[in-house]
Amino acid sequence: MDPAFSLRLHAAVRDNLMVVGVVIVAAAIAAAEQFIFNFKSPITAGIFTGALTNTPALAQVINYVAAAAPPDVASAVANEPVVGYSVAYPMGVIGPMIAVVVMARLWKINYRQDAERVRDMFPVEQEIYNRTVRITQDSVIGVPLRDLEPRRQWKVMFGRIKRTDGALELTTGATELHRNDLVSIIGTPEDVDAVVGELGSASDEHLDFDRSTLDFRRVFLSRQNLAGKRLSELDLPQRFGAIVTRVRRGDIELLANPDLRLELGDRVRFVAPRSQIKAISDFFGDSYKALSEINWVSLGLGMALGLLVGMIPIALPGGIQFRLGEAGGPLIVALILSAMRRTGPLVWNVPYSVNLTLRQFGLIILLAGIGIRSGYTFLSTMQQSGGIQILLAGAVISIVTAFLVLWIGYKWLKIPYGVVTGMMAAVHTQPAVQAYALNQAKNDLPNHGYALAFPMATIAKILIAQLLVAFLPGGF
């Protein structure tokens, strides 16, 4: 197994175990609060789901209560989790936001430096520039680039090369460097400057300014049959005499490397002979219209499979059964399909722009649904006795878990703060907290933390919420 992959896998397992541990702590706090305030177990489960703002877990608790309670009281009992959820929910949103800003100031977080620590693990926004170097070092002369790059662990791309006779061509793995050749290097400033020193000295000549024979263009990847493929699989040097130097995904500029997998919506920057520009653009598709369309076959099939998986009853000791439901099932299927990327002609990943649109639309529907269902319940409960205790109980769970994730993740496990804030937002299943963390970080690290922790956190909460109703006293 690749050591780098093994290290990332170990970190992912460790981080998800931490997330599950925090969810269990939240459940333990909820159980203790039941005994302190004498709540009913459905209300306790509602407080747990509301404090961690997990609507799918609430839905499964309601389904469980409605199925397990006696028919004559099932309807009334099924409303009790909504009471706990509605009152605990506001602090489930506010508490984590407070934790993000308080700990950032306490620990004097520099989000930019924070992101630099893990730019090899996560794609983050970084400056990429181009410099031309004159080859003068004896140790690199006559050695093919394919041998030099892994040996010296360079993290740059080589573009054009100008020979001493004035011939301008593109570099390949077989390209050998000769004394006084000019070579363009693309990468981050620190990486490029380091390589310049190993090859020779910086030149004032800019090879990328010469577009007489070789030109560059940035195009959209819109052809579905290229999605999920590595750059090395495209065979561009042999097919078109071209190389890809950068890929822009969303707002992030990625340095092109042979193992980089392409996704629909990527903006690919390539360098090629002028005569091949049109052919290469057609090869990638370069259609914005195609990227705005949703493949309803793959989306509908994926959702249908997810709903079927969510309906499968899972047996637990003591004769208890639980289901992943309408959220957990599609989540599991989505994880599997996104890892597969494609099955024959079906591409499971949606274009970046479509992904963002669906995400924002889903967030609006989620918040509207929560408001319609919980607004009146919150008001009426707060006007009755016991409302303050439920609000306090939910606030304790929300605040304790938020600070706990940040402290364990950043101080103990040494995870970058931006990633930890995303993981904390996932523990609370809260897109609003995620948006706030992104606004504070001004980079994409919270998204990576959220994606890493969200699946395990959601499944754990769906299961544990039902266990709270099943095993705590004072049910129905």
What is the domain count for the chain? Answer: 2
Count of CB atoms within 10 A of residue 11's CB? 14
What pLDDT, on a 0 to 100 scale, did the predictor assign at position 101?
93
Whether residue 72 is contained in a domain is answered as yes
Three-state DSSP class for residue 349: coil
Whether residue 464 is contained in a domain is answered as yes
What pLDDT, on a 0 to 100 scale, did the predictor assign at position 295?
75
What pLDDT, on a 0 to 100 scale, did the predictor assign at position 400?
95
Based on the domain organization, do 134 and 108 belong to the same domain? Answer: no
Based on the domain organization, do 300 and 155 belong to the same domain? Answer: no
Whether residue 84 is contained in a domain is answered as yes
Name residues whose C-beta falls within 8 Å of residue 279's C-beta, 6 or more positions apart in sequence: 240
Based on the domain organization, do 441 and 301 belong to the same domain? Answer: yes
Q: Which domain, by its residues, includes 305?
A: 3-118+294-471
CATH number of the domain residue 252 falls in? 3.30.70.1450
Based on the domain organization, do 149 and 267 belong to the same domain? Answer: yes
Element (H, E) at 56: helix 55-68
Domain final residue pick, 225, 256, 290: 290
Whether residue 191 is contained in a domain is answered as yes
Based on the domain organization, do 107 and 134 belong to the same domain? Answer: no
Nearest to 27 by CA among 45, 53, 50, 54: 45
CB 388 within 8 A of CB 33: no
CB 469 within 8 A of CB 45: yes
Residues in the chain, how many?
476
Whether residue 476 is contained in a domain is answered as no
Domain final residue pick, 290, 311, 339: 290
pTM as predicted: 0.71
The values of phi and psi at residue 214, to 5°, are: -115, 135
Whether residue 374 is contained in a domain is answered as yes
Based on the domain organization, do 108 and 242 belong to the same domain? Answer: no
- Give the relative orientation of helices 55-68 and 325-340 as an angle to the nearest 10 degrees: 130
- Give the relative orientation of helices 41-51 and 55-68 as an angle to the nearest 10 degrees: 170
Whether residue 267 is contained in a domain is answered as yes
Based on the domain organization, do 304 and 234 belong to the same domain? Answer: no
Two tokens, residue 263: 């996704």
Based on the domain organization, do 177 and 92 belong to the same domain? Answer: no
Query: Residues of the chain whose pLDDT is less than 70?
Result: 1-7, 72-76, 118-126, 316-322, 327, 359, 363, 366-386, 474-476
Based on the domain organization, do 369 and 465 belong to the same domain? Answer: yes
The Cα-based distances of 27 to 34, 84, 208, 355, 393 in angstroms read 11, 14, 59, 33, 12
Domain final residue pick, 250, 275, 290: 290
CA distance 205 to 166: 13
What pLDDT, on a 0 to 100 scale, did the predictor assign at position 329?
79
Based on the domain organization, do 37 and 83 belong to the same domain? Answer: yes
Within the chain, how many helices (H) and strands (E) appear?
19, 13
Based on the domain organization, do 99 and 228 belong to the same domain? Answer: no
CA distance 183 to 380: 72
What pLDDT, on a 0 to 100 scale, did the predictor assign at position 326?
73
Based on the domain organization, do 416 and 315 belong to the same domain? Answer: yes
Whether residue 123 is contained in a domain is answered as no
